[in-house]
Structure 1
Amino acid sequence: MKLPVYTRTGSEAGREVELDDAIFGIEPNDHVIWLDVRSIQAAGRQGTHKTKERGEVAKSRRKLYRQKGTGNARAGDAKSPLRKGGGTIFGPKPHKYSVGVNRKTKQLARRSALAHKLRNDAVRIVENIEMAAPKTSEIATLLSGQSMESKKVLLLTAGRDDVLYRSGRNIPKLTVKDAAQASTLDLMGAAQVLLTEGAVETLTDALRPQGKKTATTAPETSGVETADEA
């Protein structure tokens, strides 16, 4: 699979980038996308909710009134969960919401998310962006040149680029991230994914299935002689 490279102004640069079909051309797996997104969203929950139980309410433990002879239902102290201001029965307690997902599943989910974006023509490759100092206007010009100024855009770079990040952090609907750190939720949440040329290689290395070789190597010869050589 090949995609053309675009300049900052939106015109084609006259060259193409070859995409690895093992990463960008797979059949999307929607179930693993759901698993990974659920894990990411669950990890974002604080889990600090808490209500006071009967033993934690700051009230007297004195019996409110005598057991018999008042005409009222019998009652204990003011901490009773049945009374206003009393403790809570089986209230929420702080706990973690984290859901474990193994590394291979996370990689497959990210590859599936990219495959969905490619099928919807939501992936574009731009030439590498080099900036000496942060300048928001240059990133705004880049987005307008790609006709993406009103879309939710995820810009992926080759490694951490603080200058580029600071240039785009004030632009609404734009997220700048290291390609190797972009999650499934980041990819699925963006309407358009912009990849720099260097980010394609970074993303390919990060999502390459374990054990897949980048180049074929000649098999090693063993020291055992065959019958013909003997």
Structure 2
Amino acid sequence: MKLKVQTLDAKAKGDIDLNDAVFGLEPRADILHRIITWQREKARGTARPTRERSDVSRTGKKFGRQKGGGTARHGDRAAPTFIGGGKAHGARLRDFNPSLNKKIRALGLKMALSSKAKAGTLIVLEDLDMKEGKTKALAGQLSKLGFGKTTLVIDGEGVNDNFRKASANIVGVNVLPAVGANVYDILKHETLVLTRAAVEKLEARFNG
């Protein structure tokens, strides 16, 4: 698959051959759904438990007469009715740590990239080099490139520092290094932007 390469100034910079094994697959909704569900589950923190009656350290001694005290007959300070007592039917410990086969995860990322290429919402840039990290200058350039309302920009080894600073104040534009590319972020954004370095990194990631 061939795609035109542009610069940040929206000038043509030749073509790039995208590997069909990475960018030319037919997306499957069931695979993508499995991976997004797995990602969101992995992002959840451990649900902490509350201390129930058996977990509270209080005296078990009966603290009043059975009769004649004018109060109810209690035998344990750990009862839920008392301050400091255990909670009745409290939250239980839940740890969200699902597993998913590496081959499925790799296949899902390929399908996410392929879905953007197929929909025509994939843009390839030569690089993200900027002389200064100025938001105003970058906003003018992005309007010419035809970015959508939400855009994910993926660079190579690391994101260009000036571009990262300039894009930080632009709503709907997020940046990632190639190593952080994931299905959820790619599908969540309307437009996917890759640099040449990012394309090389992603293709090498699957070929390696």
Q: In the superposition, relative to structure 1, how do residues 4 and 30 fare at CA in structure 2: closer, same or farther (>3 Å)?
A: same
1:228 corresponding residue in structure 2: none
The structure where helix makes up a greater share of residues is 2
1:140 corresponding residue in structure 2: 139
- Identity across aligned pairs (percent)? 29
* 2:98 match: secondary structure: coil
Moved more, 65-74 or 85-94: 65-74
Q: Report how far residue 60 of structure 1 moved.
A: 5.7
Q: Report how far residue 131 of structure 1 moved.
A: 2.7
Q: In the superposition, relative to structure 1, how do residues 67 and 34 fare at CA in structure 2: closer, same or farther (>3 Å)?
A: farther
Moved more, 31-40 or 105-114: 31-40
Choose from 153, 156, 159 the match for 1:158.
156
Q: Report how far residue 105 of structure 1 moved.
A: 1.6
Distance in 1 separating the partners of 2:48 and 2:29: 32
Q: Report how far residue 69 of structure 1 moved.
A: 6.8
What amino acid sits opposite 1:155 in the alignment? V
Tell whether 2:47 aligns with 1:42: no
Q: Is the 8 A contact 1:110 1:207 kept in 2?
A: no
* Partner deviation per Cα, 1:93-150 (whole Å, 9 max, x = no partner): 44531112232221111111112222222111122222345333343223211233x6
Q: Is the 8 A contact 1:8 1:141 kept in 2?
A: no
Q: In the superposition, relative to structure 1, how do residues 42 and 74 fare at CA in structure 2: closer, same or farther (>3 Å)?
A: same
Tell whether 2:82 aligns with 1:100: no
1:6 corresponding residue in structure 2: 6
Q: In the superposition, relative to structure 1, how do residues 139 and 94 fare at CA in structure 2: closer, same or farther (>3 Å)?
A: farther
CA RMSD of aligned residues (A): 2.8
1:52 corresponding residue in structure 2: 51
Distance in 2 separating the partners of 1:141 and 1:111: 31
Distance in 2 separating the partners of 1:171 and 1:44: 25
Distance in 1 separating the partners of 2:165 and 2:28: 34
Moved more, 65-74 or 116-125: 65-74
What amino acid sits opposite 2:111 in the alignment? S
Q: In the superposition, relative to structure 1, how do residues 10 and 64 fare at CA in structure 2: closer, same or farther (>3 Å)?
A: farther
1:200 corresponding residue in structure 2: 199
TM-score normalised according to structure 2 size: 0.82
Bigger Rg over Cα: 1
Q: Is the 8 A contact 1:165 1:177 kept in 2?
A: no
Distance in 2 separating the partners of 1:31 and 1:178: 27
Q: In the superposition, relative to structure 1, how do residues 172 and 88 fare at CA in structure 2: closer, same or farther (>3 Å)?
A: same
What amino acid sits opposite 2:150 in the alignment? K
Q: Report how far residue 187 of structure 1 moved.
A: 0.7
Q: Report how far residue 47 of structure 1 moved.
A: 0.9
Distance in 1 separating the partners of 2:182 and 2:153: 13
- Name stretches of at least 5 consecutive residues in structure 2 with no aligned partner: none
